[in-house]
Structure 1
């Protein structure tokens, strides 16, 4: 049609195996289990932060993974569009930082989502770095590991299932003799993906009655035109969206406190908005 070879687009019959619309969403209790599993593993701290940002902003996975704190987080806002980047059809929004997320990003520098684990004692003894760090370009495998860990801790929440082969039969793994195992174990796969977080919070906001325009603005589905570039400067910008986000974190808080940057203990700290009171 673009080159005027056709007068109309031909009808293409739907094909088997086409991707279906993702309807899976997680409950606040399931999200709590995911956060707990990520927070418990030093090698999964970046998954925890990714989850916090995703659910607090409705941001796209790739935008969060590319987020640079030095250039994209300022004045209480996250600018998901990089300074050197042009908007595409998958728009990148400007989203206010909600109170629950603020302590997690206030002190960030450089790339936000970084795989970071302690180095070995041998490395540190040789005056090597205390941490091994690597920028994260893909979080799918690490997120899968968190889902499996969450399922192991809370199998009742249904965050994983046994994998099936091409014939639909359950897959079993051989015993790991080095670990003293004597019986086969099921091969497990997580139910859901990083994008399930986005669908979860999208559905939550709709149920909370957040105006569609605010949900779309945060998700990067709207705000066309020059005037839209300045809407984030208005005091009321995404007000209902942020209130709904905080309501979500309150619901998660019924099952965990791992979403809070400062936990209540003998040394601490009560979270008040984005500030800390000792």
Structure 2
């Protein structure tokens, strides 16, 4: 009979083990006089450790605890395991939680009731050279962790969290003129060219274009649903906008922004290289495209109402639910943005899929190309 070989990693009464001759990891514990085991569904040790940590945190979550007896670290770690680690900004959340844990190591939630202790934390963060905007993000992460615990019935009460005012908002990217846009487009790799064109043609937020799929494009009705069906709308509202002729000419399958046969998570690296090659300053970032499109619409006489709708700054009411199917919906905004895209994009990259030989094996490739490779099919 197969047996379990060693205790590789342990938290409390639970530990990790592998069966002899098997790469799979198990969560093990003693119940009565017998060892119980549950497969964690992975052969990767780090993934198994993470799974055990998450289980252990959940298993030891108590309800309606007094702040004076609840370790602050438990609240923060549980927040990161259950929520912070699963959102798009998970790395930012992890960094913020790390600052809290480093400073308040060994304290309870009630420790924060003394505002001077929080002010000491602010000074410590400033001493690390962090901007006020960064400090605000760190503080609001801790505040979110505490509020989440309170709303879930894990704490009887939570202390007031003192935040900071970062002052004037830092610019998110200066607008660009046509000459700069053309230079940037010319030196960009194929997937970044597509990103630039669709950002200008929709005035969308960066995340909306990076995550856009072909299923969100209603070509029969000439519409783009910037918010996928499975995503709940947030404060950063993603509207339905017109599929303008210049974008309709750019056909694709699956994810829009793809490179090396995989969906792109962000364009920062490609953007930085293209920006430098185009001779543009560091105030030019991906948000500059949205800023540029917004300014272009107003210069082209698009109404404030339609500009706000295109940008997602206003949400349609119940009576406007089907307005997007009206031929006049965002007509002026669409015409203005189509003019902008045509002024920048001389020729779209080509979407293609096919197979290539690598190490004497056939490998499937999909993505954007300047010229469609031999044997590849387009969209």
Tell me the TM-score range normalised by the shorter chain. 0.5 to 0.7
Shift of 1:12: 7.7
* Pair 1:149-2:277 in alignment: yes
Residue-by-residue CA offset, 1:202-244 (whole Å, 9 max, x unaligned):
1111112201111111111113322232111101011110121
C-alpha distance in 2 between matches for 1:62 and 1:244: 22
Q: Which residue of 2 aligns with 1:93?
A: 239
| Residues 72, 82 of structure 1: 8 Å contact kept | no
C-alpha distance in 2 between matches for 1:139 and 1:49: 11
For structure 1, the residue ranges without an aligned partner over 5 or more in a row are: 4-8, 39-43, 117-132, 152-158, 161-189, 262-278
* Pair 1:140-2:268 in alignment: yes
Shift of 1:14: 4.3
Residue-by-residue CA offset, 1:71-106 (whole Å, 9 max, x unaligned):
4443221111111122111111111111112111x3
Q: Which residue of 2 aligns with 1:114?
A: 258
* Pair 1:233-2:325 in alignment: yes
Residues 32/237 of structure 1: CA separation in 2 closer, same or farther (3 Å cut)? same
Residue-by-residue CA offset, 1:22-60 (whole Å, 9 max, x unaligned):
46110011101111011xxxxx21111011100001111
Where 1:245 maps in the other structure, the secondary structure is: helix
Write out the 4+ residue segments of structure 1 that deviate beyond 3 Å after TM superposition: 11-16, 71-74, 249-252, 258-261
Q: Name which structure has the greater RCO, CA cutoff 8 Å, separation 6+.
A: 1
Residues 99/260 of structure 1: CA separation in 2 closer, same or farther (3 Å cut)? farther
Residue-by-residue CA offset, 1:229-265 (whole Å, 9 max, x unaligned):
211110101111012113323544xxx724698xxxx
For structure 2, the residue ranges without an aligned partner over 5 or more in a row are: 1-146, 151-159, 351-379
Q: Which residue of 2 aligns with 1:265?
A: none
5 Å-filtered alignment, 1:1-278, equals 14-15=165-166, 19-22=169-172, 24-38=174-188, 44-75=189-220, 76-104=222-250, 106=251, 108-116=252-260, 133-151=261-279, 159-160=280-281, 190-252=282-344, 257-258=346-347
Residue-by-residue CA offset, 1:118-151 (whole Å, 9 max, x unaligned):
xxxxxxxxxxxxxxx1211111111111111222
Residues 244/49 of structure 1: CA separation in 2 closer, same or farther (3 Å cut)? same
C-alpha distance in 2 between matches for 1:243 and 1:150: 28
| Residues 99, 246 of structure 1: 8 Å contact kept | yes
| Between structures 1 and 2, the one with greater helix share | 2
Where 2:192 maps in the other structure, the secondary structure is: helix
Residues 73/66 of structure 1: CA separation in 2 closer, same or farther (3 Å cut)? farther
| Residues 63, 80 of structure 1: 8 Å contact kept | yes
| Residues 92, 220 of structure 1: 8 Å contact kept | yes
| Residues 249, 259 of structure 1: 8 Å contact kept | no
C-alpha distance in 1 between matches for 2:233 and 2:166: 32
C-alpha distance in 2 between matches for 1:85 and 1:222: 18
Q: How many pairs were matched up? A: 192
C-alpha distance in 2 between matches for 1:249 and 1:150: 18
User: Which structure has the greater CA radius of gyration?
Assistant: 2
C-alpha distance in 2 between matches for 1:113 and 1:238: 25
